Amino acid sequence: MNGWHFRLRQAPALRVDLRGITPAALAELSAAQIEQLRVGHGNAMLPLAELFDAAPGTEEGVLRFEGDLGRFDRIGWQMDGGCIRVEGDAGHYAGGCMRGGALQIDGSAGLLAACEMAGGSIDVKGDVGDFAASTLPGSMDGMRGGTLVVHGHAGERFGDRMRRGSALVHGDAGAFLGSRMVAGTIAVGGKAGAHAGYGMRRGSIVLAAPGAALPAGLTFVPNRTATPVFWALLARDLARHGGAFSALPTRRIERHLGDLSADGKGELILCP
C-alpha cells in the first residue's frame, strides 16, 4: 500500500468533502489517477489536483495532508485501515464512521468528530467541536468502538448516545458530557459541564481532575461497593495516555450510579 503526501495549494472558497480519500482507496492508483479523483466543493465537483499538490510519500499506507484543512470535511470517513495524518486543522465529521486504521490531527477538528466511529484510533492534538464521539444527525447510535483521544478541549454533547469504545479529553468538556450514553468509557482530565451524564443508561464517565465534584442537580446516588479489579484495569488503561490520567492507578475513587431519572445503571467516577 503506497503512501502519499498532499500539500494544500490554497484555502478553498467553499467547504470540501474528502470522503473516499483513504489509504485503501488510493492503494492501487497512479499519481495521474489520484490527481483526477473528484471531491465535493460546495455543490460542484473538483479534481483533487486543483486543491493539492500530490507526491509519493515516504511511509507506506500513510496519507499525509499538509496545510490548514479547516474547510475540509469527512477526512477519514469510513476508513478501515492505514493512516491519515493532518498537519493542521481538520473540518467537520473527521473520522466519522471509521472502522479501522489511525487518524492523526495535529490541530483542532470541527463538529461531529468520530461520530459513529466503530474501530481504529483518532488522536487530536487540539480541540474538537460539539457532538464529538456522538451520532450523525437523525441517528440513534453514537460512537461504537475504537479510541478517540483529544488533547485539548471538547464542545457540547461529547459522547452523546455513545455505545462502545473509549473517548478521552485531556482538557475541559462542555455541557451534557456523555448524555444518553449506553455503554463505553469517557474520561475527562479537566472540567466537565453542568449536565454530565444526563440520561445516561450504562457505561463509565471518569472525572480525573483532582477535586472534581459531582455536578449539582444530577440524579445519581453514591455507591460504596468495592470494585478493585475493575478499577485497576480501567485506571491502567487510561494511565497510558498520560497527563491527568497518569496517576489514576494510585488514587482512590468515588462512584455514583445513575442516571436514575432514566433508570440508568451507569456510573460517574470521581478521583478526589
Task: Say which amino acid occupies 204.
Answer: S
Mean pLDDT of 101-121: 98
User: Cell numbers at residue 43, please?
Assistant: 455543490
Provide, rounded to the nearest whole percent, the portion of the chain with pLDDT above 70: 100
pLDDT of residue 147: 98
Least confident of 89-93, 187-191, 214-218, 239-243: 214-218
**pTM for this prediction:** 0.96
CA dist., res. 20 & res. 136, Å (int)? 18
**Cβ density class 55-83: b for 16+ within 10 Å, e for less:** eebeeebbbbbbbbbbbbbbbbbbbebbb
Nearest to 65 by CA among 125, 18, 5, 17: 5
Q: Give the per-residue pLDDT at 1.
A: 63
pLDDT of residue 19: 97
Q: Is the pLDDT of residue 218 over 90?
A: no
Q: What is the pLDDT of residues 12-60, one digit of tens each?
A: 999 999 999 999 999 989 999 999 999 999 999 999 999 999 999 989 9
Per-residue confidence (pLDDT) for residue 198, from 0 to 100: 95
d(CA 59, CA 78): 21
pLDDT of 236 over the 80 cut: yes
CB atoms within 10 A of CB 119: 17
H-only helix segments in 152-265? 228-239
Residue 62: strand, helix, or coil: strand
Answer whether 97's CB lies under 8 Å from 77's CB: yes
Q: State the pLDDT at residue 3.
A: 92
pLDDT at 214: 84
239: Cβ contacts below 8 Å, ≥ 6 apart: 245, 246, 247, 248, 249
Taking only the tens place, the pLDDT of each residue in 117-131 is 999 999 999 999 999
**pLDDT grade for 215, boundaries at 50, 70 and 90:** confident
AA letter at 166: S
Reported as a single tens digit per residue, the pLDDT across 68-97 is 999 999 999 999 999 999 999 999 999 999
Q: How far apart are the first and last CA of the chain?
A: 48
Q: How far is CA 99 from CA 25, 43, 140, in A?
A: 14, 28, 18
Which cell numbers hold the place of 160?
452523546
Rounded CA-CA distance 110/258 in Å is 30
229-236 own/partner pairs: CB under 8 Å, 24+ apart: 231/269, 234/185, 234/204, 234/206
pLDDT of the residue at 225? 82
Question: E strands of the chain, at which residues?
Answer: 4-8, 16-17, 38-41, 44-47, 52-56, 62-66, 72-73, 80-87, 100-105, 121-124, 144-150, 164-169, 185-188, 204-207, 221-223, 254-258, 266-270
- The contacts found for 226-229 with CB under 8 angstroms, 24 or more apart, are 227/255
Question: For the chain, what percentages of helix, strand and coil (3-state, to nearest 5) are there?
Answer: 10, 30, 55
